[in-house]
């Protein structure tokens, strides 16, 4: 079956559901401290993860029996990147059906919050690495399921930037989710 977009939140009998989150900012200034024209350049950006299998995705995972989609999202985001999100702050973006049904949410934050969240995630991962190294018992998903975390600037420059980024290998419906987010939230068509 080809991945199909379905109405947001629609589930399918006998299929598993999974929930994912894009933490994003409308305008970030990557070149803020450069002393040239780029200093004032701003672009949207989001946070993605590197998975153990080399493909990229958004933080999230499968919904457990008896859990709502939002409950699963809060749990998975805490487990995977160590951040506690407020469910009332997230908004629906798209659902896609394939072997499983995935529900993709967005969390829009300001530039300072975005950088702070990213710092927290890196900090949590650094802590996990030390716990791993000294066998103190690390129950995070870092290294087992997640091998990296990245900021993705949503910037189109000639045919480069996001147009190249989209050619990477992505897990499940990630690519479809990303294309919906680009088009419907930022008006960027690839």
User: According to the binding rule CB under 6 A, does residue 57 interact with ligand IDP?
Assistant: yes
User: According to the binding rule CB under 6 A, does residue 101 interact with ligand IDP?
Assistant: no
Residues 112-117: contacts with CB within 8 Å, 24+ apart?
A: 113/25, 114/23, 114/24, 114/25, 114/28, 114/45, 114/47, 115/28, 117/23, 117/47, 117/83
Among 12, 62, 68, 126, interactor with ligand IDP by CB under 6 A: 62
Of 145, 102, 120, residue with least CA distance to 23:
120
Piece of 7-15, 26-34, 152-160, 169-177 that binds ligand IDP (CB under 6 A) = 169-177
User: How many residues interact with ligand IDP (rule CB under 6 A)?
Assistant: 14
User: According to the binding rule CB under 6 A, does residue 146 interact with ligand IDP?
Assistant: no
User: According to the binding rule CB under 6 A, does residue 173 interact with ligand IDP?
Assistant: yes
Strands 17-28 and 60-62: antiparallel
Among 6, 171, 179, 180, interactor with ligand IDP by CB under 6 A: 171
Of 173, 172, 171, 153, residue with least CA distance to 163:
153
- Which of helix, strand or coil describes residue 157? strand
Q: In sequence order, what are the beta bridge partners of 5?
A: 96
* CB of 76 closer than 8 Å to CB of 17: no
User: According to the binding rule CB under 6 A, does residue 97 interact with ligand IDP?
Assistant: no
Q: What angle do CA 165, 144, 81 make, to 5 degrees?
A: 65
Among 17, 19, 20, 97, interactor with ligand IDP by CB under 6 A: 20
CB of 88 to ligand IDP, least distance (A): 22
User: According to the binding rule CB under 6 A, does residue 44 interact with ligand IDP?
Assistant: no
> Cβ closer to ligand IDP: 29 or 70?
70
Residues interacting with ligand IDP, by CB under 6 A?
Answer: 18, 20, 57-58, 61-62, 100, 102, 145, 171-174, 177
């Amino acid at each position: 079956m080809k991945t199909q977009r379905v109405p947001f939140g629609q589930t399918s009998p006998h299929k598993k559901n999974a929930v994912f989150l894009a933490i994003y900012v409308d305008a970030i200034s990557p070149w803020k401290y450069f002393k040239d024209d780029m200093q004032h350049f701003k672009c949207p950006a989001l946070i993605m993860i590197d998975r153990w299998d080399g493909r990229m995705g958004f933080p999230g995972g499968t919904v457990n029996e008896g859990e709502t989609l939002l409950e699963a999202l809060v749990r998975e985001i805490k487990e995977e990147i160590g951040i506690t999100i407020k469910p009332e702050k997230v908004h629906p973006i798209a659902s896609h059906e394939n072997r499983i049904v995935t529900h993709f949410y967005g969390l829009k934050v300001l530039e300072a919050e975005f950088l702070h969240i990213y710092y927290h995630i890196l900090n949590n991962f650094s802590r996990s690495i030390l716990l791993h190294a000294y066998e103190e018992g690390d129950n995070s998903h870092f290294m087992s399921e997640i091998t990296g975390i990245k900021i993705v600037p949503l910037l189109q420059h000639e045919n480069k930037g996001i147009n190249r980024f989209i050619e990477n290998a992505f897990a499940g419906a990630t690519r479809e989710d990303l294309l919906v987010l680009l088009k419907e939230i930022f008006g960027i068509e690839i």
